[in-house]
Structure 1
Amino acid sequence: MTLTDLKTRLDIIEIAQELGLQLDKNGKCLCPFHRDKKPSLQFSKQKQIATCFSGNCSAGTMDVIELVKKFYSWELPMAVDWLKSKTTNYSITETTKQSNEDYEAIYKGLEPKIGKSSKARDYLASRHIDHKKLAAGFNTGKDWSKLKYCIVFPLKDKNGRIVSLYGRSIYDNAKAKHYYTTNRKGLYPKYPDTNTKQLIITESIIDTVTLQQHFYSRENGNLSILTAYGTNGLTPEHTEAVSQLKQLQDIVLWFDGDQAGLGAIDKYAKELHKLLPNITISSVEMLENEDINSIVISHDSEILQHLYKQRKTIYNKEPVLPKTPPQSTNLLIKPNYAVYQDTYVKVELMGGIDLKDLSRLKVTTIIHSIQYPERPPSRNNVDLYNDDAVEKLVRKVAPKIEVGTIAIREALNLVTKDLEQYRLKQQDTRQKVKKDRYQLREVTLKAQDIAKKLLQSKDLKASLTQLLQQTGIIGEEKNALFLFTILLSRKMDKPLNAMVQGTSGSGKSHLIKKVADCMYDQNKIKRFTRVTDKSFYNYGEYDLQNCGIILEDYDGLTEEAELAWRELQSNHKLSSSVSQKNEQTGEISTGEKYVFGPIASLVATTNFRIYEDNESRVFVIAIDESEAQTERVLDYMSKKASKEITEPQEKQVIQELQDLVYMLKPYKVKNPYRLELPKTAKQRRRLTQMLHDYIEQITILHQYQRRVASDNNQMLITELEDLEIAIDLMFNSIVLKADELDGILRQFYEDLKKYVEDKGKDYEFTQREIRQYFRISKTQMFRYITELQELEYVHKSSVGARNVHKFRISYWDNIEKLRTEIREHLQNQINTYRKEAK
């Protein structure tokens, strides 16, 4: 065997891993030939070389032989002999008949033609395959006589070279659809990456291409796909390649849903289990007589994810559990106290046990003699991991309590073992991944179909309003739908935020809780009743990313917490400069800590006036506190008490809404329309941006009814209907931004005007009179009157007997006129766009 033959039989990356080099995903590792802090040794699988790019290293560029020579400081014969011993592990089955075709050159000639042939493009489009994302060629037969009228796919060897070709005929009525070049070898799409943990094996190349374009596994990033050439096409080359995957954990057989496919799954599962007994082998159950490509044509591509999650295990990996010595049960451990006792001594451990630093085991011991209990015990501090200190303690204690050194030494030895096991068990418990608080419910195909039909309905807004009412939201359905769409935006790039104003007991917390319940993944919905100053800063980097946050009492936020809240809303991240201590050296240095958003949020408040910088970032709505709304709520309570409305009924509707949320996917939106708000609106610039962001959210809600832009950006196109729905839902919020009074105060002032108007506009009233008529507290009344006086809407008109102040309305504004002007201003712009479209 020549040196060239030897190098062709070996993979430099696999040999590097054999040498113990840890390569990252970019093929880099720390160079073993110089002191290296950042990976500087780059491996090339295609060229089969390794190059160190550090200026401090003389290694340069090496092939696999040079790499081994330098690593072990061997002469050439020793390196060659070592590498020869590895060829049995890394060589593949060779074919006896060699082809004279240069498949690399042939494929390069055919590759550009796939985009030029309309027949090839039409065929791929009919199979739901994007030719722009496909690494394949097309053969018209003019330049090469074989694989005529076929989409041509390259089959590659372990070094990434094209060693043969596969052709798929574009004519489905052809007698044969699958063609291979003579002496077929190589794998498609390539040999699996060496770091593969999960491997999917498909029945055909078209199925593999379909998975590449329409399927993404959330379970495992280290996922590879490999093609078997039909139900009888799992070759020794396939099994050899699979057997070399040292990190492999799972094999998934994804074949057709016919008898041949089921038979192949059974056969190959047995073969692979025999070859790899410590690997989990499962299969995907396909719909009858369907393959991966055909099911994408007849269903949404999301079905692939569903089928994959429902895969059935055929052979399960049986973990080899390490043999553990029998645990002692003599040590009783309690908080800040532990005790051990045998026939000779009793050992008490006072104080807590250090669970952080496992390099030491310092304890405070009280050692008693069982045989002579009247003797005073020995009290000492000792590190049980220090043999010299323990031995010194044993010799000190023995004469004092008159117990032999062997008994004391054995007791301390058992105590040490038990404490070790206890600390390791506690470490495992502390280091376990935090379990999700809410179990993620599986959405069945039937539920997905129901949700999709709802999202495709022309009257989606009315349907959602009705469903939200059935969850227990009474009289606030419009506000509920507005908040529902805002919380939906947590999945998007531009999430939105809303604030609900209302007096205590008005139902604002109930409203935002019910809306939050309708979100699909409840683990992404964070609900807080209290937030401390720095709590937001102490989250992990991505703990809050794309979360919905519910604050039931915004009034309790401190100034520092409000600052963090504002930054999360507008800047979508928190960044802090902090002091960090090096655990090994003790050195303190300055570091950076980040908490990334974005977040969507719903908060409730009883405050009239909100700090302007906080209010400008959110949509503000006010709870309806009218008498009519109170009657509606009381009627609902009565029906709930009489079981006319039950909890299971509401939960069923909530589940339907969660299914709907599950079906909505993030999209970018192209909005060709521009709306201008009235100049009377406060914070007009920011509110205009929020308006357009909300219009985008309404477009995303209607994604199953909207056109997608024809370019590659996959953007939904906003329609005029989206503008009308958005304006209708957020209209009250726009009015509040234009109104000088906040939502709660506006409701009170309108009620006050009606009361006074009935008695004459010059009527004088007292606080007690109004307080008793509207049944509100003295504190609330004082706040209302004070606020209205400051804004010069009412004034003190006279002072009566016993110093009772009387008030009169100073300013009779017309809120209905303002509302009409704003609505007409926005609607006129939409009408103009509608005329232009015609």
Structure 2
Amino acid sequence: MIDPKSIERLKAQTDIVDIVGHYLPLKKSGANFVCVCPFHDDKNPSMSVSPSRGIFHCFSCKAGGDAIKFVMDYEKLSYPEAVEKIAGLQNFTLNYVRGGEPAKENKHILENANAFYRSLLYKTPAAVEYLYSRGITDELIDKFELGFAPESAQTIRLLQNEQIEPKEALEVGIVKQNENGIYASFINRITFPIYTHAGRLVGFGGRTISGNPAKYVNSPQSAVFDKSTLFYGYHLAKREIFTKNQIIITEGYMDVIMLHKAGFNNVVAVLGTALTTKHLPLLKRGEISVILCFDGDDAGINAATKSALLLAQNEIDGSVVIIEGGADPADMVVAGKIEYLRQIFESGTEIGEFYIRHLASGFDLSRPVQKQKALEAIQAFTASLKPVVANSYAPLVAKILKIAEGSFRLSRGSNSAARQGYGGTEQNAQGYETQNFRANSGRKDPLEIQILKTMIENESLKKFILENLKPDYFARHRAVYEAIAAGADANDPSVREIIFEKYEAFKNEEEILQNLKFFKTRFYKNLYKKYSASQISLEEKQPILKKINEILKELKK
């Protein structure tokens, strides 16, 4: 894990303007900076960045927080991943601890190997000619950092020159070991560096150009490389994935590269034959739909089937696209069939339907017993789905099996249970909205804002204000006053909005007292008007008005 002290040092030296400015163009506005908010469909600059407070805030969608929160939201990263990203942007070396002990120094073994392989690519005509023949341009070579791994001895010499111990090299998978000793994991292969979704290099893929029967190989399983968790190209596709709320998953490196060339920048590839449960956390980040585009051969269809089942059972929306004739996406781009690809991506078969049709295809539906077995296989699948989803396939199943739609059931849950589940969900949603709803109190009140800003910026004056001001005195910002009084900080959107207001905080108790007098006078005058106009009896009204008058006279002294 990252040493907490190291994170605090990183925070202390991080300028949020540099971090946000790395992703978005910023414009100076007084003491702050403004920009178009990336977290909603913003047409005018709604987001402000405060260098003095180290926070950002969108006045429209209420997104906000510190530099780490910005990177988390923008890059869709976890907290540790965002910390590592910021450290990388600033060339800051993080310290790691394991069981309370400092972890070993990161010697950037894979990064050095990648730089070495990249430097050799254009010195290897056969590798460059192969890439050009597949339609890959110099621009794509640079974007995907393609390289060439030479003979094993050259990689071993690089590691020795960098003073990398064999054990360290084995730990990150850049070398392997057999009875004859240490040797490079990639020999005479075009290299495809593989990054995590957070942009950390963890391994390579390699394509032979020397006729090796193993056409493609990946880095071996290691402390840093687990192919069942990774997507090739995800770090480059991530922004487009969350812009379109869609990810296209293919089988190979070439498919990714060529589809990016064709403008499909939300494309990634699995590093094995199919999706695994370890891929699900990435696919569940945000409400994204999945398009499975595997090869049209038997292996590709098998992978698509397994992947469709996994997605359906984990409530991930998606579709399956199989290219006719057994071609792969890269071939289609080379053939110039980009519009065809666009059309099939838009008209894929929904994952549940794809899987149901696959199940039915394994039976002779002209025979009654086989038809019954097909139905049972389909029911076993739909029983693993939510009732509404399962029951939605009833017309499809009836059509495929040529049976009456009311003659079978696809869901274990009853309709009444489904209705109860919906009612509960609706009630919870209404409760959530009510709990989080804050009424718009109209125009801003400068004096209230000054008092609130003082409470945020000065803890001792906050205590003084709490002792002298009741929540009732706040006509427009009472909810914010109560939130700050309860300890809310810049993580609360309403508090952030006060921080970004241009009104100055009070500097001392004397200034506060002068303004509190006006504050209270305003409150009691409004209260007097309220009771004067009320419908209560004169007998009840008079003592209240008399009391309010006495308070107002006292305030005038």
TM-score by length of 1: 0.28
Q: Decide which structure has the larger Cα Rg and report it.
A: 1
If each structure's helix is expressed as a fraction of its own residues, which one has the higher value?
2
The one of the two structures with greater contact order (alpha-carbon pairs below 8 A, sep at least 6) is: 2
TM-score by length of 2: 0.40
